[in-house]
């Protein structure tokens, strides 16, 4: 169905979405690019002119830069690995016949409804607090010294909180995909004498490829911009500063717009690298 009429109607109807997103992307990005070449300290003298690549050099040579990249990659990578693996296992379990499947599913999905600020606060105070937190009680019960989670193990703690938030999503997508697997295929494999493990690796896993791709794609989008969890728990201390958070501090806390903007451009570049890599894979795996 494509007549000249419908094609021009289509262009007309697609335009608002494209224009809005293009504007949303380009206008602020251009401004960020502009600031990144200027010495701009709103509280200490304002715009003090052109400085070339100074901000870029300063941002990279700051001792926080590489650790922040590392932290970003660790958080995104660990959460992806944890949620995909646990998600597959959980999905396989939930796919089995059982009583009260619907209720279990609700229980498992629930963390997705919890806003990041709430989950961060609840985890930080009620679970990870070294004095009154549940974990502290648990550790003491076994005669161990409670861990100061957010200072001694800040990254694992963050990964744990964020994984808890995203595990439901991964599980649900993977469960939906498993349920769409043709049971005849599995039965045929069983007839062919494939053992449980090889059935998993040769039939179930390949069938899940598309779902896993989607989990990775969508989660990466959201994980790259993890903010509230860090803001509320460590405030970026104890090595939990992601690139985003570092920029946030430069812009808001030290009010160095030029420096922060240069960092912003680095973040855009990093996001683009990841986006291009993802889109390659996704474009192949996803017959949009």
Partner 1 sequence: MAREITSQRKTINTVAAWAIGLLIFFPILWTILTSFKTEAVAIADPPVFLFFDWTLENYSIVQERSNYGRFLWNSILIAVGSTILGLLVAVPAAWSMAFVPSVRTKDILLWMLSTKMLPAVGVLYPIYLLFIQLGLLDSVLGLTIVLMLINLPIIVWMLYSYFKEIPVDILEAARMDGATLKEEILYVLTPMAIPGIASTVLLNIILAWNEAFWTLNLTAAQAAPLTAFIASYSSPEGLFYAKLSAASTMAIAPILIMGWFSQKQLVRGLTFGAVK
Partner 2 sequence: MGSITLKKVTKSFGSVDVIHPLDLTIDDGEFVVFVGPSGCGKSTLLRLIAGLEDVTSGHIEINGKDATDIPPAKRGLAMVFQSYALYPHMTVRKNIAFPLKMARLPKSEVDSKVEDAARILNLTDYLDRRPGQLSGGQRQRVAIGRSIVREPDAFLFDEPLSNLDAALRGNMRLEIAELHQSLKTTMIYVTHDQVEAMTLANKIVVLQNGVIEQVGSPLELYSNPANIFVAGFIGSPRMNLISGKRAHEHKAETIGIRPEHMSIVKGGKASKSKWQGTVGISEHLGSDTFIRVETDDLGAIVVRAPGDVGLKFGDKVTMTPDLSHLHRFDEAGLAIK
Binding residues for partner 2, rule: CB under 8 A, are 1-5
| Of 25-33, 46-54, 142-150, 199-207: span binding partner 1 (CB under 8 A) | 25-33
Residue nearer to partner 2 on the CB measure, 4 or 180: 4
Restricting to residues 195-214, name those near partner 1 by CB under 8 A.
Answer: 210-211, 214
Question: According to CB under 8 A, which one of 62, 69, 127, 139 is a site residue for partner 1?
Answer: 127
- 8 Å CB contact between 130 and 141: no
**Residue 108 binds which one of partner 1, partner 2, none, with CB within 5 to 8 A depending on kind?**
partner 1
Regarding 288 and contact with partner 1 (CB under 8 A), the answer is: yes
State the minimum distance, in angstroms, from the CB of residue 57 to partner 1: 18
Assign residue 193 a region (left: φ > 0; alpha: ψ between -120 and 50; beta: otherwise).
Answer: left
Residue nearer to partner 2 on the CB measure, 2 or 13: 2
Backbone CA torsion sign across 206, 88, 276, 71: negative
**Residue 4 binds which one of partner 1, partner 2, none, with CB within 5 to 8 A depending on kind?**
partner 2
Ranges assigned E (strand) in 214-288:
none
DSSP codes joined into one string, 103-154? HHHHHHHGGGGS-HHHHHHIIIIIIS-TTTSHHHHHHHHTTPPPP-HHHHSH
Regarding 69 and contact with partner 1 (CB under 8 A), the answer is: no
Regarding 279 and contact with partner 1 (CB under 8 A), the answer is: yes
**Which helix or strand (DSSP H or E) is residue 57 part of?**
helix 54-61
Which three-class secondary structure string do you get for 15-50?
HHHHHHHHHHHHHHHHHHHHHHCEEEECCCCEEEEE
| Two structure tokens written together for 175 | 């469960």
Residue nearer to partner 1 on the CB measure, 13 or 196: 13
**Residue 135 binds which one of partner 2, partner 1, none, with CB within 5 to 8 A depending on kind?**
none
Rounded CA-CA distance 205/88 in Å is 9
List the x/- string, 141-170, binding to partner 1 by CB under 8 A: x----------------------x--xxx-
**260 half-sphere exposure, CB direction, 13 A CA radius:** 18
| Two structure tokens written together for 121 | 């606060």
State the minimum distance, in angstroms, from the CB of residue 6 to partner 2: 9
Rounded CA-CA distance 56/239 in Å is 22
Restricting to residues 43-62, name those near partner 1 by CB under 8 A.
Answer: none
Residue nearer to partner 2 on the CB measure, 2 or 103: 2
| Of 50-58, 76-84, 142-150, 253-261: span binding partner 1 (CB under 8 A) | 253-261
**Residue 144 binds which one of partner 1, partner 2, none, with CB within 5 to 8 A depending on kind?**
none
**Closest by Cα among 56, 55, 38 to 47:** 38
Question: According to CB under 8 A, which one of 64, 68, 82, 124 is a site residue for partner 1?
Answer: 124
């Amino acid at each position: 169905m494509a007549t000249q009429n419908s094609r021009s109607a289509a262009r007309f109807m697609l335009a608002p979405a494209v224009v809005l997103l293009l504007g949303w992307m380009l206008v602020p990005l251009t401004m960020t690019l502009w600031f990144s070449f200027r010495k701009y300290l709103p509280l200490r003298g304002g715009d003090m002119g052109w400085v070339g690549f100074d901000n870029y050099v300063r941002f990279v040579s700051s001792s926080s830069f590489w650790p922040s990249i590392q932290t970003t990659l660790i958080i995104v990578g660990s959460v992806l690995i944890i949620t995909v693996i646990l998600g597959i296992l959980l999905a396989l379990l939930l796919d089995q016949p059982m009583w009260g499947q619907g209720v279990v599913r609700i229980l498992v999905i629930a963390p997705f409804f919890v806003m990041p600020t709430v989950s961060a606060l609840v985890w930080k105070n009620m679970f990870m607090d070294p004095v009154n937190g549940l974990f502290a009680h648990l550790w003491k019960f076994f005669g161990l010294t409670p861990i100061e989670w957010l200072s001694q193990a800040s990254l694992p703690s963050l990964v744990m909180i964020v994984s808890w938030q995203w595990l439901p999503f991964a599980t649900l997508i993977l469960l939906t995909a498993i349920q769409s697997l043709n049971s005849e295929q599995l039965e045929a494999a069983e007839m062919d004498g494939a053992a449980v493990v090889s059935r998993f690796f040769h039939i179930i896993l390949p069938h899940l490829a598309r779902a896993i791709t989607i989990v990775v794609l969508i989660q990466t989008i959201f994980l790259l911009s993890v903010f509230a969890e860090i803001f509320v728990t460590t405030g970026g201390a104890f090595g939990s500063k992601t690139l985003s958070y570092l920029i946030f501090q430069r812009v808001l806390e030290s009010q160095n717009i030029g420096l922060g903007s240069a960092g912003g451009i680095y973040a855009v570049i990093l996001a683009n690298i990841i986006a291009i890599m993802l889109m390659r894979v996704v474009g192949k795996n996803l017959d949009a």
